Amino acid sequence: MEYWNYIIENFLVLAVFFAGYELFLKNSKFFKFSRFYLLFGIIISLLLPLFHYRILIELQPTEFLELGKYNTEELQQNLSNISSRDSINIETIIISIYLLISFGFFGRFLFQAFQLKRLIDAAENISVIKGVKIKQAPENQRSFSFFNYIFLNKTSEKTTKSYVLRHELIHAQQFHSLDVIFVNLVQCFLWFNPLIYFLKTRITDNLEFITDDEVTKNTRALDQKNELKNYQYQLLSSGLSPHQKMPILSFNHSSIKKRIIMLNKKSSSKLHLLKLSFLIPCLSVIFYSCNVDEVEKLDENAEFSFYFNRDTNEQELQSKVSMFNHFYKDSVTLKISDVSYLNGKLNEFTISRKFPGDTGFVQSLSMENQSKKTEFSNYISFKDHKLILKMDPSHKIEISKDTNAAFIRTKN
Do both 287 and 384 map to the same domain?
Answer: no
Q: Provide the phi-psi class of 160: left if phi over 0, else alpha when psi is between -120 and 50, else beta.
A: alpha
Q: Nearest 10 degrees: CA dihedral of 352, 354, 360, 362? A: -40
In a domain, 91, yes or no: no
Residue 327 and residue 290 share a domain: no
CB atoms within 10 A of CB 38: 24
Answer yes or no: is pLDDT of 343 > 70.
yes
Which of 149-153, 162-166, 335-339 has the highest average model confidence (pLDDT)? 335-339
Number of domains into which the chain is organized: 3
What domain range includes position 394? 305-409
Contact 239, 155 (CB under 8 A): yes
Other C-beta atoms within 10 Å of 8: how many?
14
Give me the phi and psi of 24, to 5 degrees please: -125, -15
Predicted pLDDT at 242: 45
CA distance 140 to 314: 82
Instruction: Clarify whether residues 313 and 404 are in a common domain.
Output: yes
**117 with 222, same domain?**
yes
User: Is there a domain that residue 237 lies in?
Assistant: yes
Considering the domain architecture, whether residues 170 and 232 belong to the same structural domain is answered as yes
| Domain match, 286 and 332 both | no
118-129 pLDDT, tens digit per residue, is: 988 888 888 888
Better-predicted residue by pLDDT, 54 or 20: 20
Q: 3-state class of 360 per DSSP?
A: coil
The stretch 47-72 carries a mean pLDDT of 63
> Do residues 19 and 261 make contact, with C-beta atoms less than 8 angstroms apart?
no
Compute how many other C-beta atoms are within 10 angstroms of the C-beta atom of residue 315.
Answer: 12
- Count of residues making up the chain: 412
| CB 279 within 8 Å of CB 16 | yes
The answer to whether 304 touches 387, Cβ cutoff 8 Å, is no
- Picking from 151, 144, 141, the residue whose alpha carbon sits closest to that of residue 121 is 151
Q: Measured between alpha carbons, how far is 95 from 92 in angstroms, rounded to an integer?
A: 5
Give pLDDT tens digits for 171-227: 999 999 999 999 999 999 999 999 999 999 999 999 999 988 888 876 555 566 677
Q: Label residue 328 by pLDDT band (50, 70, 90).
A: confident
Give the confidence band of 152 by pLDDT, cuts at 50, 70, 90. Answer: confident
Longest dimension (CA), the chain: 113
Q: Where are the beta strands (DSSP E) in 137-278?
A: 144-146, 149-152
Tell me the CA distances in angstroms from 353 to 93, 382, 386, 392, one per residue in order: 50, 12, 11, 20
Same domain, 289 and 170: no
β-partners of residue 17 are: none
d(CA 324, CA 288): 32
**118 shares a domain with 221:** yes
- pLDDT tens digits, one per residue of 269-306: 777 778 888 888 888 888 878 777 765 555 555 677 88
Residue 348, pLDDT score: 87
Q: At what angle do helices 194-236 and 176-189 cross, to 10 degrees?
A: 150
From 233, 259, 285, the end of a domain falls on 259
